[in-house]
């Protein structure tokens, strides 16, 4: 099943590279949920996430012809999303709380309050730490894939993950001790 989905994506990407607007639209329809989740995890705000996705889709459309390997379309779009998200952060947009549907989501034994604390702590991380945490634990990517997306050495990814987890642990412990 996964193999069929992957070959369909590759076929659509090849058509999009050749200029098919319909194929690009189908790809976006297939990946819109993923793009939105990634944008939301980076921004923490529904409106900001929608704006980031919109900009990502537009930039992807304008540069799809530069994509060399159709098999890496999703990673390629993730890279664009990361750059768009970074530009968005530079404008110092404040973060808001999670939407209700995210708060209600079941999540392996942690309460909604703990999940909110975790997401808030992630949003307080420096951008490069936040990025590796989101890509690793929310998108399930391997360190080599993260290195490729972020265009940094694999060792940096490992180091960022270690430091980010340490900062998260410290932030969450302080929150519970002071709260």
What are the tens digits of pLDDT across the range 123-150?
888 888 988 998 888 878 899 988 888 8
DSSP state of 152: S
Long-range contacts of 110-118 (CB under 8 A, 24+ apart): 117/172, 117/175, 118/168, 118/172
| Token pair for 108 | 């392996």
Least confident range from 13-22, 40-49, 76-85, 100-109: namely 100-109
Please list, residue by residue across 135-153, b when 16 or more beta carbons sit within 10 angstroms of its beta carbon and e when fewer do.
bbeebebebebbbbbbebe
What are the tens digits of pLDDT across the range 45-65?
888 899 999 999 999 999 999
**Predicted confidence (pLDDT) at residue 104 exceeds the cutoff of 60:** no
pTM score over 0.95? no
What does the pLDDT read at residue 58? Answer: 95
| Token pair for 90 | 């530079």
User: Is the sign of the CA dihedral 117, 119, 124, 125 positive or negative?
Assistant: positive
What does the pLDDT read at residue 77? Answer: 94
């Amino acid at each position: 099943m996964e193999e069929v989905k992957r070959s369909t994506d590759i076929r659509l990407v090849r058509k999009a590279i050749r200029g098919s607007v319909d194929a690009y639209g189908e790809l976006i329809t297939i990946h819109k949920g993923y793009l939105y989740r990634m944008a939301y995890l980076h921004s923490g705000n529904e409106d900001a996430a929608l704006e980031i996705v919109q900009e990502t889709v537009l930039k992807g459309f304008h540069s799809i012809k530069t994509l060399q390997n159709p098999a890496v379309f999703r990673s390629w779009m993730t890279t664009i999303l990361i750059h768009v998200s970074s530009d968005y952060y530079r404008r110092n947009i404040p973060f808001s709380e999670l939407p209700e549907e995210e708060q209600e989501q079941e999540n392996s034994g942690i309460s909604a309050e703990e999940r909110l604390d975790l997401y808030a702590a992630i949003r307080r991380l420096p951008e490069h730490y936040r990025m590796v945490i989101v890509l690793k634990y929310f998108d399930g990517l391997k360190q080599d894939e993260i290195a490729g997306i972020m265009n940094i050495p694999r060792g940096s990814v490992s180091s960022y993950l270690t430091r980010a987890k340490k900062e998260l642990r410290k932030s969450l412990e302080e929150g519970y001790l002071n709260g």
